[in-house]
Every structure is written in structure tokens, then in C-alpha cells.
Structure 1
């Protein structure tokens, strides 16, 4: 059997290979867009934009299985190093933000609780459940042996299968291939490189690692810094009814007019709390009643304009029924079009891969209901 075959046989056997791990990972990535997303483009990106320099962060992580994890991610902001800390234990999760506040939230109660409570940076290298997802969506090909951080590793290449379901917070979506280095003794990925036409566009690489050494329990705590405070973390979003959405937000909510014959049905609404640079907003999810049309459509509604999108996309202006619509069309078969407009101080963004005429018809049907 090949070296990769030996590794995969041991990996899929599911045996525990370590009780504790302490690792330092170097993460580098291109801040500018390199190529098209495998999952389809969203909008038409502006061309000729100045390329940004690659970014770098140093990630230090500790784990004491089965339920204690800590990840410190350090990067530079305008020449000053700042660190974000994530601590996960069986009963709660803590995050110390770059500003020094500590956000507290209870651990998620799900059938796969331990995987979902692990920090994402840890899962990418050490969680067998997530690594199996990587392999499930790729062709794998061995590339020999290597040594990394003092560990003997098997190198192999992974090419995503057509229509892969690898989420962007797992692995780079612009990559057309990946190169891995896996610890032969322990079921861990010590190097993950995202490639585009043979060039590395993002990498997560372990530069130091120890297994099964004692870790003090105090590692899995964190306190506020820089005058920060402890506060309860808001969820990223909350599913709400239409009536509750109207009551909660300070801006108008829009839906298709009752007088308009439409195939689109409102399925659910998410209220998103204000976070960092993002204001509070609503996302309304619509699905077509046509049996042969499974393309979703979603609407983002908020009180302020998305200035970053105005600068990032090319926009075509369309005047219709006394309203000004802006359309950004990637002009690709699998791409997602965007229609944007403003009405009485409410900013609306509609996303879907349906035809531009159908998307504009939907935009014209929207009217204020609050």
C-alpha cells in the first residue's frame, strides 16, 4: 500500500492519536482577489484595482481533548500587533476581541456538539470530522514524503470535485487545487496550501508542534485587556417572523406587493445583529414555487448603504417605474447577480442567479410594508 493509503487507512479507522496538542501555525493569504470562485462569482468585480499586499497572521493553539481548546490569532493593524483569543470548553465559549473585550456565549447544544464548539482554526488541522469533509470533496494524489516542524509527513495533492461543498471558512474557494502535508503518526494536517494555476494563494503551515505534553488548566481562560469588559455575545443572526422583524428594525421592510402575481414565496427571515463594521440588517429568503427552478433568491435590507460594495463592483444603472436600480452582473453561467436600490432611506440588495429580467421584475415588485 502507498504511504498515502497507509495514512488514510489509519485516519479512517478513527483511533485517537493524541490527548493534548500545542501548535503554532503561520497563516498567509492574498488580500486581493486572485481568480474566480469555484462556487460562482457574486456581482461583476471592478477591474484594474490596485493589488493589496499578502497578509499574515500567527496562530497559536492548545487543545486538551475532549473539550478544552484555545486559539490565539495575532496580526498587525497599522503597524501594531493585536491578538484575538478564542476559548472553547464544554459549557461555554469565550472570545477576546482585538479591542480587548471578552464575549461570552454558551456552548452550542447540537448532536455534534464537540466539533461545532471547536475553533475553526483548530478544526482545519486536527478535527477528523472536518478533514473527512475535505477528502470527501476531492481527488487525492500522493506526492511523496516531507518533514515539517520536525514531523515526518506524507505530501499529497487534492483537486476539488465539480460542485464541491467546501465552505469558504474551511478552505479557499478560489483555489483550483490544494497541497497537504499530513503527520504520518498522528491524523493531523500540518500544512494546507491553496493553489491557483500552480501558485500558492493561501497557506496554513504548522511551524512548531508538540503532542501529549501537559497543559495547565489556566490556559483555557481569558480576561479582558486594554480596559475591555466582559459581555454576553450576541448571536450572528436570529430567525424571526415578518411581524417581529417589522417591530425590531428602525428601517422599512419591503416585500412583493400583494397585487403582483409572483412565483416567489418568503420562506424565512434572519435578523443580523450589528457587528464590527456591519450595521444591523435583515435577510429575507425567497424560493420559487416552480418545481423545475431551485435557484434561491435573498434580499438584504438595512438603513445604510454598503459603501464597500459600491467600490468593489461594476454597476449598470437602470431607470424603471420612477425608480433607479443598479445591477451588477458577473455574466457567468453560475454567477450571482445583484440588484441594489434605495427607497425612503432603506437600502435594498437582492441576490440570485436567476436571469437579469426576472431579478429586475422581482425588484420592481417590492413595496414597503412598514
Structure 2
């Protein structure tokens, strides 16, 4: 779907608390979310159960990583007054709906998922061939529909997961009746190439990332380590900006006029890489300084993060309770004594 069709629809996305967010997130998904929260209702969840699908041996890091993730989101401009930020594991309804979906999802649907095969290959040597890892898309589907998510910002690699969700929703309705779960649509947002210091895609697992929480001096040192045009050996050698990782980030943080100056001076042999990196550091730090200010506010009152999660939970809980109550009714499972009362099901009956 296109961006113009999003208004009035409930948007949902999640982030796994596996480590700090970096500028690749900032110029991609986070920028899109900041824009979306001004246009429509947005839900963002901390995907702590999803983290366990690959990092179950690092569960002791969850509390700290959760705090850091929420701090990164807020510092990047996600406004908890406009966007509901909550913790996945605070909603047991997600696990219950995941169970119902698991009962009706053929294993072949999961095994044919190209993302599953790619991740198995990329994480070769790690003990991740588990039920939880294979069933990741089922849990993801429960995450989406439990709060009536209608639009999910995704990259190309996540489209197969989203299609599984749509197929499971259709199968549920076919088997048990009703038409109350939304079939979520994918929103392919702008996602510029953000290279890491070694030229590969920026990733915390590669050790090549500039993090949102990095200090100005950290940013300076990391930018200095960036690989540039291998053919530009001497200062007055003409450069090739299109193959330079430093130039790629200039395009994200510099004005159009500044980018053209960098391009012309580089191609004309009038700009050295050391000076170009120093200029980039200064501009990147100008972008990140407001984020550092917002993060310092949270660090001075760390309990605010839990308050933010409480606020998001208060908005998500009644929707999730109503969704799972409806699912129980359709499946024929008796409502337990602990079942929450019905709440807002906007988006479910559309």
C-alpha cells in the first residue's frame, strides 16, 4: 500500500531488544514512524519474546536492553503521548492467540519462508533450529492482529512473514467463522542505504555501527575508521563519491547544496578524505545532539521508561483482551475466570 492510504488505519511495528539502535534505524524505520505518528494511530512494542527466538542464552540482558530500546525510541522522536509503546510479554493475550494460530498453521507454510532459510544460513553454528525460531511468523502474526494492526511498516525481507499472517487470518476465519481479525497490509517505507564503517550494511552484529547513544567523541572515532574510495590514494586524486561510504552518509545528514559541494570537490581532487570525514562527523553530531538531550532527560529519571511502557500497556490491553475473547468465542474455548473484560476492537470489525 502507499503512504497516502495510511491515514485512519492502525499502524503496528516492533523492535527486538537485542542491543542499541543505530543511525541505520534512524534514517529508515524510525524516521518513517515519527512521520506516521502525526498522521494516524501507531503502536510500537518491545519484542522481548521474539528476542528469545535467537538469543535465549542472553535473556539476562533483557531488562537493560528493554530500557535502552525505549530510550532510543523516545530520543529518536517517538512520542509516547501519540504512540503507544508497550512490552510484548506484558500481554499474555499475544501468547494465547499465537497458540490458536499455531494449531491451524501448516508446517510447510513456515518451512517455505525464505527469510527462515536465509537466517538459518546466516546464523550457522548457533543453536536456533527451534520450534520458536521456525514459528516466529506465527508469533509475529499474533502481535499484529491482537491490537487490530492494519498497517505494518516492513522491508522487502519481511513481506513473506506478513503474507503468512494474512494466510493464517484467512484460515482462522474459514475454520471458525467470523471476519474480525484484520488482514494487515505492508507499508514499504523509504529505507536509504546506510553503510557501516567497513562498507557492509550497518549492523550491531557486524561491529560497524554508529549508535544513537554514542557520544560525540565516539562518533568522531567511528567516522575516522570508515573505508572510503579505494582508488583515491593521494589528496589530489579525483574521487568517486558513488563508491564512498562517507559520501553515502553525507547524503543523509548534509543539505542538498552541501552534498553537491562534497561531490564536486571530491571528483575534482580538491577534497581529502580526512577533512571530508571531519566535516561528516560535525554534521552527524549536529543531527544526534537533540537525541542525546532527550536521552539525558530519561537517564536523569530512569523510572520514566517504565511509566512509558505502563501507558502503552493501558492502551493496548483492552484491545488485546477483546480480541482474544472473540477468538475464544469463535474457537469454542470457554472463557477463563481470569479473562479480561471486552474493550475497544476498532480495526477488528472493519
> Structure 2-normalised TM-score?
0.23
> Structure 1-normalised TM-score?
0.22
Greater helix content:
2
Greater strand content:
1
